[in-house]
Structure 1
């Protein structure tokens, strides 16, 4: 298919998506008691013990509320100031902070890391596995921050692995820059480049550029003793308590502890582009490469789909972007055992939703909570593996072979 035909095909898909959305969904967002009631109903139906929800309109937080409990055994309520694990929404925050270095002329996103480090990457013990693969020299900060360096998610979970491999070696599985493959390993390498090649302490960078700027007093890249007094306990899909790991080292891919209030303030600042100069603003949400994987995980699966062509799903710096019924949308999720988080924004309107939960079941509510708080968004829930809780059949391997266009109506259980 030539370029013009591809463009026409994508435009037709987008039009069909928007028509389906308009025809089948109530576009009126919920607020006040109606929103509270819907959140409570969904939490009960999906067996989610605790969840916090923030809604941002035109760059301002207009709704911030916590529901349920942070500790079931002790019957302690979740609050908007409860410390929760950020998981991978740390990546979006780290990237946003890193863009300040672009404005300052301290970082060029397209300079190969070979030029940013004082010695070859494989000369560092942590990256010695790459000694026989010169492709590492092609990797740039932009590739690392858009998940296009060719790495697996983490070296201890290589492609095809079904469990953690303590002897896993770091490898480049795809030509750098050739495709999207989600990689915490790549984000951590970006941190390594800043710290070892640019003399930038990432904890200090985050504190100065984000935590101080946005009043995030209960947020840190490592565990703080004062967090213990109001802490969320994570729960798995069956309600088993998992505790809260105290992370002692800074990891840009996901070591942040924060609160719903703090991250809501950050998200509002991000959708306003506070702290970014003209150069960084021009780079931040620019689509870098189209995403055509069926699902985000497994990260290096080569199977493709056209389901998301209509919304132009693409990778950008630190986030994923697409065209929603209301213009450019961007989002980042954070998932770990006992943690489900979603930061989602409609950039043109500067409207956002933040969902933070201490339950592995909360991802099953994302689509419905977005619809409730913002109206139809065409969120690519199947690609993100955020399958609605009342459609377990879409979690089966067979579901990957079926179409799941993001704007199509989703039948809800009564």
Structure 2
């Protein structure tokens, strides 16, 4: 009984600390006051013309500060709020990886069983994936591990390849970031379990982690507080309202909700130690100059010093602040990023409804947690 009381008091203290924090600890061990941080971020958002920005900062493996800047709907002068629904884009991928590993631990899937084993028909008989049937011998070597580590040889998006989804590399040969690969994994999970992706994610991720403002598809509850996205010139793109779950990017969330997921990863909860070792260990080294675009085929040694690599559904690098994991989310106009430094207990989640976010991401990361290490150039954020 005494131990229970002490635990309850500790929980109340931590909750109080998270609500009343007046400073944020940064990676260099220094702190910045909330007042100074708020002023700095407001200046960046205004000067770079970022439509809106949600921020959640994690210290000591808990969310210590949430900040909102700019507008969710500029035309109506509606401000971004803690619970404003934001399109997560590719931040969905890390959730999908965690979901797959949860199902794998239940014995439903295996990382190294060929994907074809879990499908009801040969891959070439599915209209959406028929191009993969052009080389069934190669496709039959593809495993969930390859899809999650972007080493399957599938292209990033079929639209870039005249609507085709043929392999552009041999399975397991090299890193090629692929939305198509993650979406195939999601399709496989749905068909084999008989459940929709949104239901699986709700059962295995969102409900257990109390992510009450998150869904793999558009929820009518989001209508009360959602954001429009804006192009660089300020023109309206609109809001993403996905009606079908896509493992590569259909999720809507908030920075504070997603921070719960990041904390879960930092504390390595919800999965076994073995699964986390797989997820957060390099599955393939990243040698390309850029993660996307024309330079994805250009090799460089620039990233070797940070040991840039991909785990399962998540990017990895090493820094003076310790090993880190990250992921970006890039929609038509929504742009997002999160990075975590588990050894420091420090992380940040950034969700924006603006195409102008990425060019200022280095300034925002530095202001929030003193992050000067994230591979932003490789992501293309610093390109003109």
For the 8 Å contact 2:289–2:295, the answer to whether it is kept is no
Does the alignment pair 1:169 with 2:164? yes
Does the alignment pair 1:298 with 2:293? yes
For the 8 Å contact 2:196–2:245, the answer to whether it is kept is no
User: 1:121 aligned to 120, 123, 128, which one?
Assistant: 123
For the structure 1 residues 27 and 383, does the alpha-carbon distance in structure 2 shift closer, same or farther, using more than 3 Å as the test?
A: farther
Q: Distance in 2 between matches of 1:239 and 1:37?
A: 23
What are the within-5 Å matches in structure 2 for residues 231-250 of structure 1? 231-250=226-245
* SS at structure 2 position matched to 1:156: helix
CA-to-aligned-CA distance 1:87-138 (integer Å, 9 cap, x gap): 1101111111111122222221111112222332112222222222121001
For the 8 Å contact 1:153–1:185, the answer to whether it is kept is yes
* SS at structure 1 position matched to 2:71: strand
Does the alignment pair 1:155 with 2:185? no
CA-to-aligned-CA distance 1:148-192 (integer Å, 9 cap, x gap): 11111111222xxxxxx4xx1210010111111110000001011
Corresponding residue of 2:203: 208
Alpha carbon RMSD of aligned pairs, Å? 1.7
* SS at structure 1 position matched to 2:146: helix
Corresponding residue of 1:406: none
Q: Distance in 1 between matches of 2:219 and 2:126?
A: 30
Corresponding residue of 2:55: 53
* SS at structure 1 position matched to 2:99: helix
Aligned residues: 357
For the structure 1 residues 57 and 243, does the alpha-carbon distance in structure 2 shift closer, same or farther, using more than 3 Å as the test?
A: same
Does the alignment pair 1:187 with 2:182? yes
Structure 1 unaligned residues grouped into runs of 5+: 1-24, 159-164, 388-393, 396-414
What are the within-5 Å matches in structure 2 for residues 19-30 of structure 1? 28-30=30-32
What are the within-5 Å matches in structure 2 for residues 194-343 of structure 1? 194-298=189-293, 301-343=296-338
For the structure 1 residues 44 and 272, does the alpha-carbon distance in structure 2 shift closer, same or farther, using more than 3 Å as the test?
A: same
CA-to-aligned-CA distance 1:65-106 (integer Å, 9 cap, x gap): 111111111001100100111111011111111111222222
Return structure 1 stretches of 4+ with deviation > 4 angstroms. none
Tell me whether 333-342 or 191-200 shows the greater mean CA deviation: 191-200
* SS at structure 2 position matched to 1:69: strand
Structure 2 unaligned residues grouped into runs of 5+: 1-26
* SS at structure 2 position matched to 1:133: helix
Q: Distance in 2 between matches of 1:132 and 1:148?
A: 19
For the 8 Å contact 2:330–2:336, the answer to whether it is kept is yes
For the 8 Å contact 1:325–1:377, the answer to whether it is kept is no
For the structure 1 residues 98 and 274, does the alpha-carbon distance in structure 2 shift closer, same or farther, using more than 3 Å as the test?
A: same
Corresponding residue of 2:21: none
Q: Distance in 1 between matches of 2:132 and 2:358?
A: 36
What are the within-5 Å matches in structure 2 for residues 93-104 of structure 1? 93-104=95-106
Does the alignment pair 1:85 with 2:81? no
Q: Distance in 2 between matches of 1:264 and 1:82?
A: 14
CA-to-aligned-CA distance 1:296-342 (integer Å, 9 cap, x gap): 11278421111111000001111110101111111011011220111
Q: Distance in 1 between matches of 2:122 and 2:288?
A: 32
For the structure 1 residues 284 and 26, does the alpha-carbon distance in structure 2 shift closer, same or farther, using more than 3 Å as the test?
A: closer
Q: Distance in 2 between matches of 1:61 and 1:225?
A: 27
CA-to-aligned-CA distance 1:14-55 (integer Å, 9 cap, x gap): xxxxxxxxxxx9763424111111101111221112111111
Q: Distance in 2 between matches of 1:268 and 1:124?
A: 38
Q: Distance in 1 between matches of 2:222 and 2:369?
A: 32
Q: Distance in 1 between matches of 2:131 and 2:125?
A: 10
